[in-house]
């Protein structure tokens, strides 16, 4: 008999489900966002004391061919589980799924999670529910994510898909074959910074960590980069001195990292940095200029309104102190006309000094204080050096000063 290789081909057993109802069992790559894991852990911490595990629904995105799945979100599903039976609130699951899909149209149902690494008959029953047609993930497989939450142990996560298996139609509904699939925790730079900040609190007694400012975070990042450069430099020197074993993979990685560094002259970097600093200073100077201009404009407007009100009060005083009450209305009208003429002269001929009646300037510690404050405003505006008073502002201040 010729010495040939022999192969044994085994077909995956399928349950007596309807034709075309089996979901695909193609190889998958699952990526998990950190916020989904945090939601699962928070749900586990809030579970009842007599409940061993909690379950929930996984939401995310799926590639067009169905081989790439990214878990982005999840929500809890109420359930009760005993040694004899399991009860899941299906109505709550359907309503919450509809609300989440309405709020996030780009996400789809991808599977379910459980805070226990054990796989039992109830797990198969729930897996078949999430894999079914209509309200399930069919024709794509449902992903089952298990997260171990045993106190004092490392958090371990696993992902599975299922294939139908069963010898009878009655056992097909609560039977399936769980197939492990690879997965990874995917996070960006911003999420990585947040995770590092959270993990830094594990060595503190109060389990708290202050949020760093931008400058502190930049300083810490620079120190971390310098430490890594020093470690790499020491390793390279040890390899050159034949004190450490060389690694071709590490050498190739360092060459690739150095090839990505931009080749810029230090003089160009310093020039660009100084230009950036100058731009920042100019923007800050302009912001302070605008702030001072607005504040000074508001004070001048207040002074103008106060000056107009003083003339009106002086005209009323002439009416009360007049010898003939029958002419009081005329005097008051004249006072108003004079106030209007002062305003007109102020706007049209700012160089002219407005004559004010002597009786209007009597008894006026208030008027004297007003003149002093106006002069202080003028001195403040000139000292700031950021704005130029208009001719109207000069006329207002001159009119106020002439009263004293």
Q: What is the mean pLDDT of residues 378-384?
A: 46
The separation between the first and the last C-alpha atoms of the chain, rounded to the nearest angstrom, is 130
pLDDT tens digits, 11-30: 444 444 443 445 555 557 89
Task: Give the pair of three-digit tokens for residue 27.
Answer: 């190889």
Q: What is the mean pLDDT of residues 94-115?
A: 91
Q: Is the pLDDT of residue 266 over 50?
A: yes
pLDDT at 5: 46
pLDDT tens digits, 24-49: 555 578 999 988 998 999 999 888 88
Q: What is the mean pLDDT of residues 277-300?
A: 89
Let me know: does 373 contact 324? Beta carbons within 8 Å: no
Share of the chain above pLDDT 70, in %: 67
DSSP code, position 358:
G
Mean pLDDT of the chain: 74
> 212-221, long-range: CB within 8 Å, 24+ apart, which pairs?
217/193
Q: Is the pLDDT of residue 226 over 90?
A: yes
Let me know: does 222 contact 200? Beta carbons within 8 Å: no
Name the CATH superfamily for 29-190: Cytidine Deaminase, domain 2 (3.40.140.10)
Task: Give the pair of three-digit tokens for residue 236.
Answer: 């390279």
Q: Is the pLDDT of residue 283 over 60?
A: yes
Of 79-83, 205-209, 339-343, the range with the lowest mean pLDDT is: 339-343
User: Which has the higher per-residue pLDDT, 117 or 374?
Assistant: 117
Confidence band of 174 (pLDDT split at 50, 70, 90): low
Q: Is the pLDDT of residue 348 over 70?
A: no
Dist. CA 72–CA 186, nearest whole Å: 10
Every domain range in the chain assigned CATH 3.40.140.10: 29-190
User: Which has the higher per-residue pLDDT, 50 or 309?
Assistant: 50
In sign, the C-alpha dihedral spanning 343, 344, 347, 351 is negative
Q: What is the mean pLDDT of residues 243-249?
A: 87
Q: Is the pLDDT of residue 331 over 50?
A: no
Dist. CA 55–CA 78, nearest whole Å: 7
Q: Is the pLDDT of residue 10 over 50?
A: no
Confidence band of 114 (pLDDT split at 50, 70, 90): very high
pLDDT at 395: 57
pLDDT tens digits, 65-78: 888 899 999 999 99
CA proximity to 100, closest of 16, 23, 36, 52: 36
Q: Is the pLDDT of residue 272 over 70?
A: yes
Q: What is the mean pLDDT of residues 284-299?
A: 91
pLDDT at 135: 77
Q: What is the mean pLDDT of residues 171-196?
A: 80
pLDDT at 82: 84
Of 186-190, 235-239, 309-313, 347-351, the range with the lowest mean pLDDT is: 347-351
The model's pTM: 0.51
Q: What totals of helices (H) and strands (E) does the chain contain, helices first?
A: 11, 10
Instruction: Please spell the DSSP secondary structure of 53-99, one letter per residue.
Output: --EEEEEEEE-TTS-EEEEEEEEEE-EEE-SS-EEE-HHHHHHHHHH
CA proximity to 112, closest of 103, 90, 104: 90
Of 136-140, 298-302, 313-317, 396-400, the range with the lowest mean pLDDT is: 313-317
pLDDT at 281: 86
Instruction: Please spell the DSSP secondary structure of 238-257, one letter per residue.
Output: HHHTTSS---HHHHHHHHHH
Dist. CA 343–CA 354, nearest whole Å: 10
Dist. CA 127–CA 54, nearest whole Å: 14
User: Which has the higher per-residue pLDDT, 306 or 368?
Assistant: 306
pLDDT at 398: 62
Confidence band of 167 (pLDDT split at 50, 70, 90): low
Of 18-27, 85-94, 187-196, 246-255, the range with the lowest mean pLDDT is: 18-27
What angle in degrees, to the nearest 10, is found between the helix axes of 328-348 and 391-402?
140
């Amino acid at each position: 008999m010729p010495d040939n290789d022999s192969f044994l081909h085994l077909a995956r057993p399928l349950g007596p489900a309807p034709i075309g109802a089996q979901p695909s069992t193609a190889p998958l790559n699952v990526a998990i966002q950190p916020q989904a894991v945090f939601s699962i852990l928070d749900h586990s911490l809030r579970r009842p004391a007599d409940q061993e595990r909690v379950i929930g629904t996984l939401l995310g995105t799926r590639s067009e061919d169905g081989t790439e799945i990214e878990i982005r979100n999840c929500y809890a599903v109420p359930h009760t589980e005993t040694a004899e039976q399991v009860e899941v609130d299906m109505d709550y699951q359907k309503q919450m799924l509809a609300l989440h899909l309405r709020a996030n149209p780009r996400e789809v149902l991808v599977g379910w999670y459980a805070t226990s690494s054990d796989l039992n008959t109830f797990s198969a029953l729930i897996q078949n529910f999430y894999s079914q047609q209509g309200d399930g993930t069919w024709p794509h497989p449902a992903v089952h994510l298990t997260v171990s939450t045993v106190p004092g142990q490392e958090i371990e996560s696993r992902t599975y898909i299922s294939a139908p298996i069963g010898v009878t139609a009655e056992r097909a509904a609560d039977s399936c074959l769980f197939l492990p699939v690879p997965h990874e925790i995917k996070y960006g730079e911003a999420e990585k910074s947040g995770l590092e900040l959270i993990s830094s609190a594990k060595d503190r007694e109060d389990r708290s960590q202050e949020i760093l400012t931008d400058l502190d975070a930049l300083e810490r990042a620079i120190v971390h980069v310098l430490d890594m450069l020093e470690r790499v430099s020491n390793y390279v020197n040890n390899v050159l001195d034949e004190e450490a074993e060389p690694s071709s993979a590490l050498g190739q990685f360092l060459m690739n990292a150095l090839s990505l560094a931009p080749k810029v002259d230090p003089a160009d970097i310093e020039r660009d940095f100084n230009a950036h600093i100058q731009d920042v200073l100019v923007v800050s100077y302009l912001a302070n200029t605008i702030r001072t201009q607005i504040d000074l404009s508001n004070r001048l407007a207040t002074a103008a309104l106060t000056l107009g009100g003083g003339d009106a009060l002086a005209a009323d005083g002439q009416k009360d102190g007049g010898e003939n009450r029958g002419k009081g209305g005329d005097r008051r009208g004249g006072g108003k006309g004079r106030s209007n003429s002062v305003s007109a002269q102020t706007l049209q001929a700012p160089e002219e000094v407005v004559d004010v009646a002597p009786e209007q300037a009597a008894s006026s510690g208030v008027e004297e204080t007003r003149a002093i404050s106006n002069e202080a405003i003028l001195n403040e505006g000139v000292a700031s050096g950021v704005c130029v008073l208009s001719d109207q502002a000069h006329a207002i201040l001159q009119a106020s000063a002439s009263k004293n």
